Each structure stands twice: as C-alpha cells, then as structure tokens.
Amino acid sequence: MSTVRAMRPLALIPAFNEASSLADVIKRIQAAHPGLPVAVIDDGSTDETTAVARQAGACVLRLPFNTGYGAALQTGYKFALREGYDCVVQIDGDGQHEPADIPALLDVIERREADLALGSRFLGGTGYRPPLLRRLGMSLFRSLASNLTGVKLSDVTSGFQALSRDLLTFFAADRYPADYPDADVIVMLQRAGFRIKEVPVTMYPNARMSSMHSGLRPIYYVFKMLLSIVLTPLRHEAVERKGD
C-alpha cells in the first residue's frame, strides 16, 4: 500500500541589517505555522542580524559581504534543494509581510495549483497604498508583465511568495538575477511554462521608511528592470536553444 509523503516546506528570510525586527518576524512565523523551519540568509549584515536570528531559533546562512537581494534568495533556494525541502515560502525580515498569510501561500503549492504562489497586497481589499512614485512604477511594470505574459496580475513586484521544488531548481541556475528579481522574473517564468497564482496578502508600511529602493537606487532599478524585461524573451530563446 503506497503512502503519500507530506511536503516539507521551509520559510526563507533574506536579511540585511534586520536585527531590530527579525526576532518578531520569526516568532510570528512560528505562531502562524507551528513547526515550520526558518532559514535566515544574512546578506553581510553589519548589525546583530545573525545573533538575533539564531537566538530566535532560525538556521542562519551568513554571507561574507552584501551580495544583493537576488543572490541572497538564490543562496536560500540552493540550501533548500540541498536539504531536501519540497517548497519554500519567502518573507522579508523587516516586518512588512504578515506571517499569518503563510499557510494560504503554501497551500497553493502543496495542492499543486501553481508553481509560484504570488502574494498580492492589492487583492482582497487590504487597503495597502504605496507612495505615489512607487505606485506609478508598480503600475508600469504590472502593465508590461501582464501584456508580455497574457496573464492579468496585480502585484508583480511582491517579495512574499511560495515556490515549488521545480521552481527552486529553475532558479538555482545562473539565469536568476543577483540584484532585483521582480517583474522580469515573472515574465521569464510564464514563458518557461511555470504556473503562477496570486494570493491576497497583507503588507504593512515600512516603519523605518527605508528600503532597497532608497537613494539613487530607484533610478538604477527602473532602468535595469525595463532592460531586463525587454531582454527576457531573447534570454528564454537562448535557454531553449541550449536545451535542444
């Protein structure tokens, strides 16, 4: 008589100088999904991020210097694959994401409804309203991604996601962006045949009023993202030719 093995999920937190909020995030993850293991990727923090994460009960992978958000995530994906996890839910360490939404994201993957459960802060009437300039940028990339994929999506820049093991394997390759994996990755996934499903989630304002999009980085982000989205079809064709 065959038995169905329960899926092994992992909560993944990419963190850079998140010592002030990380313990509370981990505590709320454990409350939302008891027994869910947590791995923190400390991306070269200069504060007590590693110590706080370990004290809170998380496994910590510390990178020797700041490599970028995408590189930190990819480190976590490779760790999850190596340790035999079936799926990953990624959540930021700054407290903006609501850990109580984790079960809804993981359910999509465990029921095999999609390869990527994309948390959307704009579904379900959560009332999230970003600053004007960021709202305009989100609208631009949402329109580009929806037009290029033919799939209507509401939040293509969300970092609150659950991913299947097949998707982790896909992202473990060199094609994954090292800095800002956002709308360009959504386009790449759809063109590669992966299924995406949005799930309503709650997002809170950034209490520290800082992010990876502060300073001059928004200018680089917009230029890089536009270029990456335009080149994504060409990159996908190159991957297909290499696989033939």
- Which residues make Cβ contacts (< 8 Å) with residue 51, sequence separation at least 6? 19
Given the candidates 3.40.50.150, 3.10.580.10, 1.20.1070.10, 3.90.550.10, the CATH classification of the domain at 9-243 is 3.90.550.10
- At position 17, the amino acid (one-letter code) is N
> Can you list the alpha helix ranges (DSSP code H) found in 83-210?
102-110, 132-149, 165-171, 183-191
Provide the whole-model pTM: 0.82
pLDDT in tens, the chain (244 residues): 444 567 899 999 999 999 999 999 999 999 999 999 999 999 999 999 999 999 999 999 999 999 999 999 999 999 999 999 999 999 999 999 999 999 999 999 999 999 999 999 888 766 666 666 666 667 777 777 777 777 788 888 889 999 999 999 999 988 787 777 777 888 888 888 999 999 999 988 775 544 444 544 666 666 566 666 666 655 554 344 334 4
What is the distance between the alpha carbons of residues 152 and 145, in angstroms, rounded to a whole number? 8
- What residues does each domain of the chain span? 9-243
